[in-house]
Every structure is written in C-alpha cells, then in structure tokens.
Chains A and B, each alone.
Chain A
C-alpha cells in the first residue's frame, strides 16, 4: 500500500506529525514525538528506511533513535533548506499504521553471579528474589528501539515497571562484552568491553558485534529480542561455539 504524503497539508504546521530541526550545518533531526513507545519508534524506523532507499548522494548517515531520525549530510553538497524540503516530500507512515514484524532473536543469558553482579540489587529494588527478577526480565519480548553508545549496542524496551532501576551512581570503568544491563525502563547488551553505568544482571555468549564480517551487527532497529535463561554449562558450550565462529 502506498504511503500517504503530508505535503498538501504542510501549510497547517499543527497537523504535521513531525518536526525538522537543524543539528548544526551538517545534520537535520526529524522528530516524531517526545515519548518512548513502539508506535513512534516504528514510524522512525520506517522513515529512516525510506530516506536510505532514496540513495541520495552526499548523505553520510541516517540514524534512527527512540523518537527521531538524524540525517547527516555533506554541507558542500546539500544546504539544509533544500534537504528539509526533500525530506518533507517523502512518504511517512501514519500514526496507528501497523508495524511490520521485525526479526525475532532468541538471546541466551546466564543471569546473576559474576556474570550479573547487580542482579541481587535489582531484585531488592523490585522486591523479588534474584531468580524471580531474572525470570521477569526474560518473561516478555523486547523491541530494539535503536543502536548507539558503542558498535552494535541495542537499546531494548520497555522492561516491566518494577525492574526499572536507575543507572549506578558511579559507572564501572569496564563492563565485559556480552553483559546484559538495566537502566530505568531500558535493557541493553554491551557488545564490547567499555565503561558503563547500567545495572548488570547477566551475560550472553552471543556476539552482538562480529568483527570482520561484511554485516557485523546482529540486531537492527525494529527487531525483537527474547532472552532465554541458560545455565553455566550451556553458557560455556555457546561461548566456545561463538569463539569458533559458529554462532
């Protein structure tokens, strides 16, 4: 079904479902809303794909986030006004339109212990036992809202309200690759060892950033993640397999 264009209504700015804001002289941010929900994010992901599919020369990057798309361009090839005009004429998904199903990824996680040193704190925050907290975390499917922070880091959500513990007041200087963390209503997976402030509840042996591959990133915005609790034996078996490139 073709997308409906808003162009004929552009003289009624109040009816616009998005705003185009300059982010300096080499980027524009197209804002679809100011909340985190899957409906707005699915419009964001769809619009980012539409812009990408134009294959315009001089467009360096198209970055979908929770509720906006940032388009980075070469200011020697584009001026912001012309690009904004072109972006406005592109089809956009209407609010309420169905979201195409993203790819479902089952991600095995070893919860707690040295792999999830903050699981007990999260459980205490939630008023649960640690195994209840991890079961709750793995009980629902999460949407990949965006990737950011480090190569392949997925921002997943939204997690059950009672698990929504804030970040640690002092970030760790190193978080091991594969760590699964919680920050407020988001959960995420650290693809590489970096500093980090999220509450770490477990670790996956599956690589998010598979260096050296043509397409090294496992998850894409709009995909779905289901965490599966595994035991130590299974973690070691999958780690071994992953290290030998059979993931």
Chain B
C-alpha cells in the first residue's frame, strides 16, 4: 500500500478559464446565490471516482485551452470530459483513467479535439475553504474556489489528504461504452416549461423543428442561441420567478437563452422548455458555433433516463463514500 502526501500543484500557465468546481452551492438560492459547480457533472463525478474521491470533491474545470501545471508531489489524477490533448512531460496521456504523476511532472494541454470542458481530479481533492457549504467558484460574485476567481499563473494549489492507493488502484478506467462522444452538434431532450401561456401556439413546434446555434455570447451562466424566433404573446407582463439549470428562457427578441451552471437564481423572461438533467453534461460540452436540436420528452421519461445513467455508472465505478476533513 502506497501512501501519498497531499498534492502541491504550481500553476505555470492558467489556461483560458480554469476554475475550482464541485457539485455546486445548494441551499442558498433564496438569497440570490447561484448554484455554480461543474458544468458537466457526469464527467466531474467520473473524474472523482477514478481517483477514489467522493463525488462532491473539488476538482479543476478546464475550458478549451487548458493550463500548464507542475506537480510538486507524487499525485494521482484523472482527466475526463473534453479531449484537450493532455500531455505529461510531452508524452500523450490517456483520458478517463487514473494515473500517477511523479513529483516534478508537468501536465500540459494542447488543441481541443472534442468537447469544451475537461475535468482534472486530484486524489484528496483541492484544499480551498468551504464558502456557504461549497468550494465551487462563482466568478461573477467572487465566491468560492481560489479567492473567487479563475486560476492564474503563479498560483499554488494544495491538495487534501489522499486515500491510500489500495482503495482505487492507478489505471482504473471508465469502460469505453460509458464514455460520452462529443460532436459539433447535439440533440438535447426538453420538457415543456411552466410558462406555455406566454408563447404563441406553435412555439414549441418551432423550437423542436429548427436548429439552433450556440452564439459567441455564451459562458458558464448561459448560452445565447441563434435560430428560428420563438414568438411570444405578451413580453411585458411576465413577473420574475425561479430558474433551473437547463431552462430555455426567451427574451423579447425571440432568441432562446439556455441557462447553465452559473445562472441567476431568478429571471424575468418566460421559460418555454427545460433541458433534461441527463442531457446537461452533453450541453456543457458545446462551444460557440455548435448546433443544437431539441426533442420533446416527459418528466417521467427524463427522471428514468437519469436513473439509468447513474445506475450504469454506479455498476462500472461505484461511488466512494470516504469523507475528507
């Protein structure tokens, strides 16, 4: 049984948007606190399980252009989600598989081959303070993570105490059939939203028959979509109410906005539909220019699909319920 020291990671280059995330800051939305957390929770959970961490352990979320990191201790890590061409000391390294980075090792990322967001888990997690019960970074409110901001050059990340390696040997991997396949277009299943009466009769048909393109005005808060206009009956009378991740809200210009992890807790636009939880990880991997087709689904179907997704994952990689202090 091999014992590891807590990780110590030096940020040589920050990458485009590298943040510390977990499964989100729940329980404070009624005070206006965004949930945030990993955009692609499936890849994030897999990354944690591969290195023997509990699902909610803080990890790094990398966006399109990954960082350059130097590991000052022998460290067990796993990379999942988008393929951003990871290399260790200039040699390609596998994804969806735990590996040992020896002391002094430098992890770099290159061109994005598929997907948008990659997840780097570190055995033992990342030691930043809990803010309102979570380590997730919400940059807009400078909350959580490392001083509420993305990583920058010169930062040093310290790890929590890793599990002894006997619990999750190096080389653990997610079976290939369970690995998602990211393309430049995605089909996302939706449930009709709570405000149908604010839209014209054929609006849902328009939404499901057209293709929408993710516009450059897209970020962790939401994706502005471009495509067929969704006609509203009455744009002025809607009173702000609660939003959910995956909500498709429609401002008066008729172009839907897909709300993502950093969404505001309440919003002043009616919601025509909501993307199902099982498809949000796929939505998280889209980039500006990518195309979306929406398909209708029922709440019961959506909840069954999510249960199947998680049951399959639990069989392949059982959750680790060890808790860190």
Contacts and interface: CB of A to CB of B under 8 A. Distances in A.
Interface of A: 21-27, 29, 31, 34-36, 48, 60-70, 72, 75-76, 79-81, 146-153, 155, 191-192, 194, 211, 216-217, 221
B264 interface: yes
A24 B32 contact: no
A101 B307 CA distance: 44
Interface in B46-94: none
Contact of A149 (B246, B247, B266, B277): B266
Contacts of A66: 239-241
A66 B266 CA distance: 10
Contacts of B307: 76
Contacts, number: 137
A153 B237 CA distance: 22
A149 B240 CA distance: 10
B302 A25 contact: yes
7 A-B pairs with the lowest CB-CB distances in the bound complex, closest first: A70-B242, A24-B274, A148-B266, A21-B194, A25-B302, A60-B26, A61-B29
B37 to A, nearest CB: 11
Given A23-B242, A194-B140, A149 B264 contact: yes
B141 interface: yes
Contact of B244 (A26, A48, A149): A26
A61 to B, nearest CB: 4
B240 A63 contact: no
Nearest to B190: A24
A225 to B, nearest CB: 16
B244 A27 contact: yes
B220 to A, nearest CB: 15
B136 to A, nearest CB: 13
B265 A60 contact: no
A106 B250 CA distance: 37
Contact of A150 (B26, B140, B239): B140
B146 interface: no
17 contacts: A22-B194, A23-B242, A25-B306, A27-B274, A35-B239, A66-B240, A67-B239, A72-B26, A76-B310, A80-B299, A80-B303, A148-B264, A149-B265, A150-B141, A151-B28, A192-B141, A221-B30
B27 interface: yes
Contact of A63 (B30, B246, B300): B30
Give the size range of B's interface with the partner: 35 or more
B128 to A, nearest CB: 14
Given A23-B193, A26-B277, A67-B239, 12 more contacts: A23-B194, A23-B244, A25-B306, A34-B237, A63-B242, A76-B307, A146-B266, A148-B265, A149-B266, A151-B31, A152-B32, A211-B143
Contact of A22 (B28, B143, B237, B299): B299
B286 interface: no
A63 B299 contact: no
A22 B191 contact: yes
Contact of A23 (B31, B32, B35, B271): B271
B226 interface: no
A211 B247 CA distance: 29
A73 to B, nearest CB: 10
Contacts of A148: 32, 240, 264-266
B122 interface: no
Given A70-B241, A76-B307, A151-B143, A25 B276 contact: yes
Given A75-B306, A76-B310, A148-B266, A29 B241 contact: yes
A216 B241 CA distance: 23
Which has the most chain B C-beta neighbours within 10 Å: A23, A60, A62, A221? A23
B183 interface: no
A150 B264 CA distance: 7
A108 B325 CA distance: 42
